[in-house]
Chains A and B, each alone.
Chain A
Amino acid sequence: MDQTTLKENKIKNTASGEERESDLHIEYTTLNLGPTHPATHGIFQNILTMDGEIVIDSEQTCGYIHRAFEKIAERRPYYQITTLTDRLNYCSSPINNIGWHMTVEKLIGVDIPKRAQYMRVIIMEFARISDHLVCNAVIGVDTGALTGFTYLFQWREKIYDIFEHICGARLTTNIGRIGGLERDFSPEVYKKINEFLADFPKIFKEFSTLLERNRIFFDRTNKTGPITAERALNYGFTGPNLRAAGVDYDVRVANPYSSYEDFDFQIPIGVNGDTYDRFMVRQEEIWQSLKIIRQALDNMPAGKYFADVPEFYLPPKEDVYNNMEALIWHFKIVMGESDVPKGEVYHAVEGGNGELGFYLVSDGGRTPYKLHFRRPCFIFYQAYPEMIRGGMLSDAIVTLSSLNVIAGELDA
């Protein structure tokens, strides 16, 4: 940016709150952070105007991995759109998948059996843990603590092992079906979940002791990239980033879906809305997720793991080969010939980063007439320049990783 185009001459340090006059003869440096920079963990470009090491302003660009999911979705039958949702927030794909299934189930009016709902809760909470683990471990990396990252990533692997045993895939899971889940949890899944629940808390406690009260980590993250509750709401923040600013909004509690009302858990909130608070909110949410998973396992109801919707739920393979009716349904589902009612649905779930909404318009055809994803990352990422203004460049990097902006969700 040309120095003559700068309107304001004052530089405010958001950390200390002090303002100082900038020297008119200072030449600002333009620094291109990204689009592919190892410190940004994704394809983000920020054109920074720098005064030495202080960030004066930032201009963001996005769209580098835009894949036109909303257009593609207008040509795909409902069950094929699940694979698109995988690639939004790829750190917690199961939440996106199940959120999409629930949107369609709302439209066609299906009651999901309690057992399937509890199984979904277990899957979604594991996805939330893996999402938060990545984010918090990466905040550690950006402040110079690589140990926690290498340590915790083994445990993300173990969560992916559980997903693999549930649905056969690890990262882009395509988990579940419209109407339930594709299969019941096998004994192996229960074994892996129980192992995880037995071993992980100890490991995670170690990670917490490494960082939570670490002087260096605290000094690097406290009061960096702060945002007030009022500004956060104005910027459309949701999820852990909003809660770190002190607003106790969580879709799981405000509009419970998939039997979340049955579980006893707390919503952690922060005070300052800075990087440290965002870190701590995610830490506590991992403990709460473990608590939810334990409750769901203990109270797992008996019954079926899928609803009675032959128009949408694929029949078992042996029936398809031996039973005419099942073969017809199978064909109709795969070719996307099931009837869908007309209507407009908005359904929101609490994703890893906030309220993930699906706005679906159906005209009764085989594909959605219009599908829009409310992507939390896309909405709160625009607050980033305001949060880093007046701070140091190295703080800007930590702020970006603590916001946990996922490129796939940003660009859709």
Chain B
Amino acid sequence: MAGITNEFLLERLQQQFGEKIKAAEETFGIVSVVIEPDSILDIVKWLNTDNILKFKFLTDICGSHYPDLTGQELCAVYHVQSMENNVRLRLKAFMPVSKPEIPSLTSLYSSANWMERETYDFYGINFIGHPNLKRILNVEEMDYFPLRKEFPLEDATRTDKEDQYFGR
């Protein structure tokens, strides 16, 4: 299987998008780049149609919450993959919790539909352009986003359990 190296991938990506790639690192064999939320659709579309890279497969979308990063609390994490070149890429887009909006990838990938619904369900990230953005795993009446860090796993009103020694 012909493969391309991570260095080549990053170089080509930076050549094409320049300023839009805000940060890049390689962690455990996967190139991880930070991008603006607005540019996600352009970048993924280019990766898909590029004749050399051929990132035709959307592996996964998930969210993440960093309450300490003011102005970029929420993060949408995309994993894309080029089966032909046997290389993966991680794209991260940070956005403020007050305006968590990012374009939807459903026009490119049918698989993005449920992945984005799941991310919306747990983190409240609004995917603009999604045809049916509603909760998927939780009950529809739920009025909060449970995987955000402000929600403790256990009932916060419990007083019978001392948790200061072990546990977050």
Looking at B13-21, B38-46, B96-104, B112-120, the stretch in contact with chain A turns out to be B112-120
State whether the Cβ of B32 lies closer than 8 Å to any Cβ in chain A: yes
A382:B114 contact, CB within 8 angstroms: yes
**A364 contacts across to B, CB distance below 8 A:** none
- Docked CA distance A410–B159 (Å): 35
- The closest CB in chain A to the CB of B167 belongs to A75
Docked pose: A63 CA to B110 CA in angstroms:
20
Question: Which of A75, A255, A345, A359 is B60 in contact with, Cβ under 8 Å?
Answer: A359
CB pair A372 B60 closer than 8 Å: yes
A70–B57 CA distance with the chains assembled, in angstroms: 24
- CB within 8 Å for A346 and B88 given contacts A71-B146, A247-B83: yes
A344–B77 alpha-carbon span in the complex (Å): 11
Known A-B contacts A235-B111, A355-B59; A346 and B153 likewise in contact (beta carbons under 8 Å): no
CA distance A329 to B136 in the complex (A): 42
Q: Report the minimum CB–CB distance from A172 to chain B (whole Å).
A: 21
Chain A positions near chain B (C-beta within 8 angstroms): 62-63, 66, 68, 70-72, 74-75, 106-107, 231, 233-236, 247, 249, 254-255, 335-336, 343-348, 355, 357, 359, 361, 365-367, 370, 372, 374, 378-383, 411-412
User: A62 contacts B137, CB within 8 Å?
Assistant: yes
State whether A71 and B59 are in contact (beta carbons under 8 Å apart), knowing that A346-B90, A359-B77 are contacts in the complex.
no
Q: B130-147: contact bitstring with A at CB < 8 Å (1 yes, 0 no)?
A: 000000111100000011
On chain A, the residues within 8 Å of B167 by CB distance are 75
| Chain B residue nearest to A335 in the complex (CB) | B166
Please give, as numbers and ranges, the residues of chain B lying within 8 Å of A367 by CB-CB distance: 168
- B28 CB contact (under 8 Å) in A62, A68, A107: A107
The chain B residue with its CB closest to the CB of A412 is B137
Q: Does B128 contact A (CB under 8 A)?
A: no
* Interface of chain A, main secondary structure: mixed
Contact A345 B27 (CB under 8 A): yes
CB neighbours (8 Å) of A378 from chain B are 114, 118
Question: What are 18 sample pairs from A and B whose C-beta atoms fall under 8 A apart?
Answer: A66-B137, A68-B146, A70-B122, A70-B147, A71-B147, A236-B57, A255-B86, A343-B28, A344-B27, A357-B59, A359-B77, A361-B64, A372-B77, A374-B59, A379-B60, A380-B111, A382-B114, A411-B137
CB distance from B26 to the nearest CB of A (A): 11
Nearest A residue (CB) for B84: A249
Known contacts: A236-B59, A359-B62. The answer to whether A379 contacts B115 by CB under 8 A is yes
Within 8 Å by CB of A346, from B1, B28, B138, lies B28
- Give Cα A71–Cα B153 distance, bound, in whole angstroms: 7
Encoded as 1 (CB less than 8 Å from any A CB) or 0, chain B from 67 to 86 comes to 00000000001010001001
Measured CA separation A66–B135 after assembly (Å): 12
In the docked arrangement, what's the CA distance between A99 and B27, Å?
Answer: 18
In the bound complex, what is the Cα–Cα distance between A396 and B136 (angstroms)? Answer: 22
A-B CB proximity, top 6 nearest: A236-B111, A63-B137, A372-B62, A374-B60, A66-B137, A382-B114
Additional A-B contacts beyond A63-B139, A372-B77 (5; CB < 8 A)? A72-B153, A75-B167, A254-B83, A346-B88, A379-B60
Cβ of B30 within 8 Å of any chain A Cβ, yes or no, is yes
Roughly how many angstroms separate A367 CA and B31 CA in the complex, as a whole number?
24
B positions within 8 Å CB-CB of A: 1, 27-28, 30, 32, 56-60, 62, 64-65, 77, 79, 83, 86, 88, 90, 109-111, 113-115, 118, 122, 136-139, 146-147, 153, 166-168
Q: Which B-chain residue is minimally distant from A381 (CB atoms)? A: B114
Among A62, A231, A254, the residue within 8 A (CB) of B136 is A62
For B65, the chain A residues whose CB sits under 8 A away are: 370
Contact of B168 among A72, A344, A365, A380 (CB under 8 A): A365
Report the separation of the CA atoms of residues A132 and B79 in the bound assembly, to the nearest whole angstrom: 28
A77 CB to closest chain B CB (Å) equals 9
Residues in B whose Cβ lies below 8 Å from that of A62: 136-137
Given contacts A74-B153, A374-B59, contact A63 B138 (CB under 8 A): yes
Considering only CB atoms, which chain B residue lies closest to A383 in the complex? B110
The residue of chain A having its C-beta at the shortest distance from the C-beta of B113 within the complex is A382
Q: What residues on B are CB-neighbors of A249 within 8 Å? A: 83
Q: How far is the CB of A135 from chain B (nearest CB, A)?
A: 21
Give the CA-CA distance A247 to B136 in the complex, in Å. Answer: 29
CA distance A359 to B59 in the complex (A): 11
Residues of chain A within 8 A (CB-CB) of B62 are 359, 372
When C-beta atoms are compared, the residue in chain B nearest to A379 turns out to be B111
Q: Are A106 and B60 in contact (CB under 8 A)?
A: no
Instruction: Determine if B114 and A379 form an interchain contact, defined as CB atoms under 8 angstroms apart.
Output: yes
Is A236 a contact of B146 with CB atoms below 8 Å?
A: no
Q: Are A233 and B28 in contact (CB under 8 A)?
A: no
Distance between B151 CB and nearest chain A CB, rounded to angstroms: 8
A75 touches B137 (CB 8 A): no
**Cβ–Cβ < 8 Å partners of B110 in chain A:** 231, 234-236, 382-383
Q: CB-CB < 8 A to B64: which residues of A?
A: 361, 370
Residue ID in chain B nearest A67 by CB atoms: B137
Distance between A363 CB and nearest chain B CB, rounded to angstroms: 9
Return chain B residues, CB-CB under 8 Å to A348.
59
Contact of A357 among B60, B113, B168 (CB under 8 A): B60
Chain B residues with CB under 8 Å of A412's CB are 137
Complex contact B28–A345 (CB within 8 A): yes
Chain A residue with minimal CB distance to B139?
Answer: A63
In contact, B137 and A234 (Cβ under 8 angstroms):
no
